[in-house]
Homo-oligomer: A and B are copies of this chain.
């Protein structure tokens, strides 16, 4: 632990909050001050024993350098963000792409009014993928960028299946179409529809006596979720679901295929293959919390995204050592 550790709080203790906690505990330059929860703090089985009631948050003003908001959905973050940024510098993983400008405007205003930094939309997409989409665009202005997700579990699509009558439980995997990925990596720049890019694999546990054909039909025709994709539905037992589909792997890639002059192809690729989506996202949020604390200490105020953050700010290694050993 360094002499003046960055004092970090976690707001929310689901899968993501637990990933953030693990990452803070492993950081050499951070101290975990509190995990804020809406539940009874005594009921939480944390690694750190730092759970406190969210009602006591105001008492932590001046004792926390950055709070990582780990709301369970983008809706949570829209409420948590402004509320918590009144008290602390904050970081979140807001991932409803279409609503980012609105969330940014709110957070920028609250952060400035309260003399704080708020970094929104960190994680891997948005987050690391965003960094790569922008740098790839800069270095290959003539080209096309493709983002693929998976193979990985989509929580939103799994939830959508669970809402169908007769479904007891389900997991949905988003799977990139490898043949298309291969073409782009070879420098092609195809026009692609949604169906061309990803498959959706569904593993479903049906209730006793449920009409499986009706469930399958309800899945594959579901607007916004499955209708535009080639979707496979496999019925399995509850035991199989628990045994084979309890992990939360994910990943994906950003590829930009471009050219710097006629027929001179240049391919830029960024890939993640993750055994645990919440642990990796949590780890990126903690690196972002470090950057937020440094921006705040340097006198910056307002809302930022990963696009505004220099790489060196994420890492607990000083500039001389970075230049000597990482550049």
Complex CA–CA separation, A284 to B133 (angstroms)? 14
Distance to closest chain B CB from A300 (angstroms): 11
Query: Are A100 and B323 also in contact (CB < 8 A) when A137-B317, A268-B272, A311-B131 are?
Result: yes
* This chain: copies in complex: 2
Please tell me if the beta carbons of B307 and A312 are within 8 angstroms of each other in the complex.
yes
Specify the chain B residue showing the minimal Cβ separation from A130: B327
Residues of chain B within 8 A of A276, CB atoms compared:
260-261, 264, 266
Query: Are A327 and B275 also in contact (CB < 8 A) when A22-B260, A135-B128, A280-B266 are?
Result: no
Chain A 98-112 per-residue mask, 1 if CB under 8 angstroms from chain B, else 0? 001100100000000
Please tell me if the beta carbons of A270 and B270 are within 8 angstroms of each other in the complex.
yes
Distance to closest chain B CB from A139 (angstroms): 5
Distance to closest chain B CB from A203 (angstroms): 21
Please tell me if the beta carbons of B307 and A308 are within 8 angstroms of each other in the complex.
no
Residues of chain B within 8 A of A305, CB atoms compared:
323, 327
Residues of chain B within 8 A of A322, CB atoms compared:
134, 307
Distance to closest chain B CB from A320 (angstroms): 7
Tally of chain A residues near chain B (CB < 8 A)? 69
Complex CA–CA separation, A290 to B27 (angstroms)? 34
Complex CA–CA separation, A317 to B282 (angstroms)? 29
Chain A residues close to B by CB (< 8 Å): 19, 22-23, 26-27, 97, 100-101, 104, 121, 126, 128, 130-135, 137-142, 185, 187, 251, 259-261, 263-276, 279-280, 282-284, 287, 290, 305-312, 314-315, 317, 319-320, 322-324, 326-327
Listed by A's residue number, 24 A-B pairs whose Cβ atoms lie within 8 Å are: A19-B260, A101-B323, A126-B327, A130-B327, A134-B311, A134-B312, A134-B322, A135-B287, A135-B311, A137-B317, A138-B315, A139-B284, A261-B279, A266-B272, A266-B276, A266-B279, A267-B271, A267-B272, A268-B271, A268-B272, A269-B271, A269-B273, A270-B271, A307-B327
List 4 additional contacts besides A265-B273, A267-B274; criterion CB under 8 Å.
Answer: A101-B320, A269-B272, A270-B270, A307-B322
